[in-house]
Amino acid sequence: MLFLYEHVLGRPLGRVDGVTRAKRPKRLPVVLTRAEVGAVLAELRGTTRLVASLLYGSGLRLKEGLRLRVHDLDAERGQLTVREGKGGRDRVTVLPSAVEPMLVRHLAVERARYEQAVEDGTAAVSLPGALGVKYGHAATEWGWQYVFPARRPSVDPWTGDLRRHHLGPSGVQKAVRTAAQAAGVDRPVTPHVFRHSFATHMLERGADIRTVQELLGHSDVRTTEIYTHVLNRGVRGVVSPLDGL
């Protein structure tokens, strides 16, 4: 309102005191049980299953998973690096060993496509920030390729060049919704639910909340604490008196 009156209407209101900024009410996230996660993943196929497995196994946001590049994966250390996550921060999180066979097969296929693209002159990918100018050759290197590339190159909005980009989110979102319905999960399930489930299941298994905070990339532990409210046994392991009768 202050901006409207001062910069649009040209009638500054002056100092306004005693105004409290409205806050969004906190909503508890949708969290699946381990059995439900397994059932939904079992209904997925191919690349979509691998993406969803990483979202759950590593606690990634959907865009973080789709933006992964080959050099972000470190199977030897069992970790992956998220570049420029929410807030522009990098972080390291776990790379589950259970996805390694799937990941190896997937990368073998993508490597063959990449080598063909090199021959065709269409292997260049979009690079973050000024890297494309500073290290122009990096755009065609294998390490900079997206783990989940789009099937066809498209125009880079920053450079105007034809570049390879990562897979779009809409196909994954649709596939997860369809898989949840097929698995008989009657709650709204989106790819982000896998991240919520990762955090909750880590806490259930006794992980320290600070560790979970670091893996999720939360700047404030209070954001991570929301998951303590959806644990199976409550915030402090409270048992209902009815269960004691």
The pLDDT, as a whole number, for residue 226 is 87
Q: Is the predicted pLDDT of residue 239 greater than 80, yes or no? A: no
pLDDT (tens digit, 9 = 90+) per residue, 96-126? 999 999 999 999 999 999 999 999 888 889 8
Q: What is the mean pLDDT of the chain?
A: 87
- Characterize the bridge pairing of strands 91-94 and 154-155: unpaired
Can you give the pTM of this predicted structure?
0.83
Give the DSSP H or E segment for 80: strand 79-82
A 10 A CB-CB count for 198 gives 25
Q: What is the mean pLDDT of residues 197-217?
A: 92
Q: How many CB atoms lie within 10 A of CB 84?
A: 12
Q: What is the pLDDT of residue 242?
A: 57
Q: What ranges in 128-245 are assigned the alpha helix state H?
A: 131-134, 169-182, 191-204, 209-216, 221-224
- Asked if 145 and 134 count as a contact pair (C-beta separation under 8 A), the reply is no
The answer on pLDDT for 233 being more than 60 is no
Query: Measuring CA to CA, which residue among 178, 152, 176 is closest to residue 163?
Result: 152
Maximum separation of any 2 CA atoms in the chain, in Å: 73
**Owner of token pair 């100018």:** 133
Closest CA to 72 of 96, 93, 51, 99: 93
In whole angstroms, give the CA distance from residue 166 to residue 156. Answer: 12
- Which is it for the CA torsion 194, 200, 201, 203, positive or negative? positive
Q: Which of 82-86, 148-152, 172-176 has the highest mean pLDDT?
A: 172-176
Catalytic residue ranges = 61, 86, 192, 195, 218, 227
